[in-house]
Amino acid sequence: MSLRWKISLLIVASVIIAVLSCSIVLRQSAARAEDDRMRSTVTEQLTNATAIFSETGVLTLNARIDDPELPKEARRSALKGQSVTIRSEVDGEEIVWAAAPIEVGSHTQVISVRASTKDSQELIGRIDQALLVGMIGSALVVGGVGSIVAGRISRRLTLGAQAARKIAAGDTTTRIADVIDESDQEVWAFATAVDTAVARLTERIDSEQRFTADLAHEMRTPLTGLVNAANLLEEDSRPAELVKDRVVRMQVLVEDLLEVSRLDAGRANPEFTRVDVDQAIRSLLGTMEASGALAGHEIDTHLAALNSTLVTDVRRFERIVSNLLVNAIKHGGDPIRLETSTRSIVVTDSGSGYPPDIVNTGPTRFVSAGGGGMGLGLVIAQGQARLLGITLIFSNDPVTGGARTEVIFPEDDAQERALRQYIESRSE
């Protein structure tokens, strides 16, 4: 339920409770006043009838002697010398009685007067109707006004949420305060605070991205000379082997930093084509094994894509899967399992699993899952996945406890749309 309807229902419920409480008090007061009036009327009528009978011996004003329909408790009280008023039902009709003792000859008898409460009940009924109409009318009017006011607040919050979604999508030039009226002080203050936080976060991200790009480019030039120098080392010694190994690792790191900077800058342009999922995985595993990237680890594969195809950039798609496998080799444990299906690829290892921050918020650059390295492999995989419309879900396997990454393919219509747009861009 939207905020607007919650506020409107709260206002209506409050009005109904308030009016209903007042109505109950008012009705009880009216019923009590009407009962007092009826009792006073029949008492006065009984007094006059008694006086007339005592003087003339004639019963008037609807008075009766020893009325058989008079309630027994009223008769007993009257015979004890008391004047009483009482309510009772006679033939389904509510009656108000007034009774008192009277001397008839040498005997004490009971004189009584009665009056129907029909008119009083009709009056109370009209009061009930008026209160009900008033309650419904008040609820509708106040609820309508409340809905309008709540709608204005809800609309501003909706516009703010739309602006926030644009910011989350990467449009950091959007400001939530621009779509909020400054007259709404609380909402505007909240929007301003969010904008300030976004601005600070954007500055931090931009600074980090510039650092990554500058670092990669500054390291690339001296690294090129270092690679060439390392290749000239011909002696078969442990120091030479260590130098070559460290140079290769540094080269991989610089290439990863450059890839991250390209993804940050939005300069990556995928080249979409249709590929067979299982065939692409077989080819990738063969290449990785030949290059030594698997480091002698056995990958337990279960290919069940059933000849299904995927519209993607082959190089970037292979980068995603290879980075996940390399991460499992470095930070996980054997056995490592890779499964394909018509809608996804799942990579699972038997290590200690992903730390909570990766499971909850995803990978972060310069933070490694295993406590070593720069943590760029998963960041690059996630960046490439976003570029291709693929979703990565990081979790821990409930059985082995190892890290589990699910690579979910885009929907078929999204794949066709991406391929069509790519073909149109190439033809222009």
CATH of the domain at 347: 3.30.565.10
Which of 108, 76, 111 has its CA nearest to residue 97?
111
- Strand, helix or coil at 359? helix
pLDDT exceeds 50 at position 312:
yes
Is the per-residue pLDDT at 369 higher than 80? Answer: no
Average pLDDT of the segment spanning 353-367: 78
| Alpha carbon 194 to chain centroid, angstroms | 19
Domain residue limits at 50 = 3-140
For residue 84, the cross-strand partners are 99
pTM score, whole prediction: 0.52
Confidence of residue 127 (pLDDT cuts 50, 70, 90): confident
288 shares a domain with 224: no
Query: Would 150 be classed as within a structural domain?
Result: no
Confidence tier at 374 by pLDDT (50, 70, 90) = very low
Collapsed DSSP state (helix, strand, coil) of residue 193: helix
Statement: residue 165 has pLDDT above 90: no
Instruction: Specify the number of domains making up the chain.
Output: 3
Of 95, 120, 140, the last residue of a domain is: 140
Decide if 334 is inside a domain. yes
In-domain check, residue 159: no
Residue 215 located in a structural domain: yes
Is beta strand 344-348 parallel, antiparallel or unpaired with respect to 391-396? unpaired
| Lowest model confidence (mean pLDDT) among 42-51, 202-211, 348-357, 367-376 | 367-376
Residues in the chain: 428
Pairing of strands 336-340, 309-312: unpaired
Is residue 46 within 8 Å of residue 111, measured between CB atoms? Answer: yes
The dihedral through the CA atoms of 355, 360, 365, 366 has a sign that is negative
Q: What are the angstrom distances between the C-alpha of 32 and each of 28, 38, 39, 92, 117?
A: 6, 10, 11, 22, 13
Residue 400 is predicted with a pLDDT of 81
Location of structure tokens 């005592």? 54
Whether 45 is covered by a domain: the verdict is: yes
Contacts with 151 (C-beta within 8 Å, 6 or more apart), sequence order = 4
135 and 58 housed in the same domain = yes
Question: Which one of 96, 118, 140 terminates a domain?
Answer: 140
d(CA 65, CA 67): 6
Is the domain of 116 the same as that of 242?
no
For 226-243, the pLDDT digits (tens) are 767 766 666 666 777 777
